[in-house]
């Protein structure tokens, strides 16, 4: 099987570009990540963009299509069963009944060949193995936030950010999200609230 998403190279983030983005967010109040950390962060963000695009364009579509095919097969099987029952109810000739049974057997043979088919296409992998990802920024916001926080540990001195609605972490997520999902989050406050909500729930439980 080919790579999971060979045609989805993701975003166009670079270490130099992220340096400018982070400088605009942090200003002179904090030390900044190292060049190596910025390059690793760019690599991670580009991968996240590729995963999101693949899930949106291939995986979710393949999953829906797979569901539709299963329903279609079930409908055809019911249709063939009903035809065979109708033959007996209408007291059709033996020849007609045998023709209907032959049709059923041919479809059974098709199902058997379908089950034995070697599935090497990307759409096969996507429908059965790839996790579902929602079509908006919320599905990726937490992992992007964590990637940013990890990169900030390379600063001198290391920077550790807490939870906030409008602090450096949600501001970074808000700034880079258009380059990953192609959309701008509703607001900076919405990003902060989304990142804090799981943390608050765990703390209360």
Give the pLDDT confidence of 79-111 residue by residue, as tens digits: 888 888 888 788 888 888 888 888 888 888 887
**Inside any domain, residue 60:** yes
Residue entry with tokens 């936030």: 145
Enclosing domain of residue 135? 15-204
Q: Read off the pLDDT band of 119 (50, 70, 90).
A: low
Q: Read off the pLDDT band of 205 (50, 70, 90).
A: very low
Query: Which token pair is 114?
Result: 């379908």
Q: What is the pLDDT of residues 142-190, one digit of tens each?
A: 999 999 999 999 988 888 888 888 999 999 999 999 999 888 999 999 9
**Inside any domain, residue 3:** no
**Inside any domain, residue 9:** no
**Inside any domain, residue 188:** yes
Q: Within 13 Å and on the Cβ side, how many CA atoms surround 82?
A: 6
For residues 110 and 101, what is the distance between their CA atoms, to the nearest angstrom? 14
**Inside any domain, residue 93:** yes
**Inside any domain, residue 199:** yes
DSSP 38-99: HHHHHHHHHHHHHHHHHIIIIIHHHHHHHHHHHHHHHHHHHHHHHHHHHHHHTT--HHHHHH
**Inside any domain, residue 35:** yes
Query: Which of 8-17, 42-51, 61-70, 107-116 has the weakest average pLDDT?
Result: 61-70
b/e per residue 24-46 (b: at least 16 CB within 10 A): ebbeeeeebbeeebbbbbbebbb
The pLDDT score that the predictor gives to residue 74 is: 81
- What value, to the nearest 5°, has the Cα angle with vertex 11 and ends 16 and 150? 60
Question: Please, are residues 184 and 177 in contact by the beta-carbon 8 Å criterion?
Answer: yes
**Inside any domain, residue 6:** no
Question: Please, are residues 164 and 170 in contact by the beta-carbon 8 Å criterion?
Answer: yes
User: What is the number of domains present in the chain?
Assistant: 1
For residues 48 and 54, what is the distance between their CA atoms, to the nearest angstrom? 10
């Amino acid at each position: 099987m080919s790579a999971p998403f060979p045609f989805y190279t993701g975003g166009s983030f670079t270490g130099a570009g992220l340096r400018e983005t982070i400088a605009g967010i942090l200003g002179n109040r904090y030390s900044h990540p190292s060049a190596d950390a910025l390059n690793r962060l760019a690599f991670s963000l580009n991968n996240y963009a590729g995963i999101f695009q693949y899930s949106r364009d291939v995986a979710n579509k393949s999953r829906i299509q797979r569901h539709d095919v299963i329903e279609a097969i079930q409908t055809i099987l019911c249709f063939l069963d009903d035809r065979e029952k109708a033959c007996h109810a209408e007291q059709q000739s033996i020849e007609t009944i045998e023709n209907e049974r032959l049709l059923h057997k041919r479809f059974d043979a098709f199902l058997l060949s379908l089950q034995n088919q070697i599935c090497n296409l990307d759409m096969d992998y996507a429908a059965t193995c790839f996790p579902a990802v929602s079509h908006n920024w919320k599905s990726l916001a937490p992992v992007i936030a964590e990637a940013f926080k990890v990169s900030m540990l390379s600063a001198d001195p290391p920077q550790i950010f807490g939870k906030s609605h409008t602090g450096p972490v949600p501001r970074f997520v808000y700034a880079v999200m258009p380059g990953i999902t192609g959309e701008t989050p509703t607001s900076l406050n919405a990003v902060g609230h989304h990142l804090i909500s799981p943390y608050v729930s765990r703390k209360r439980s």
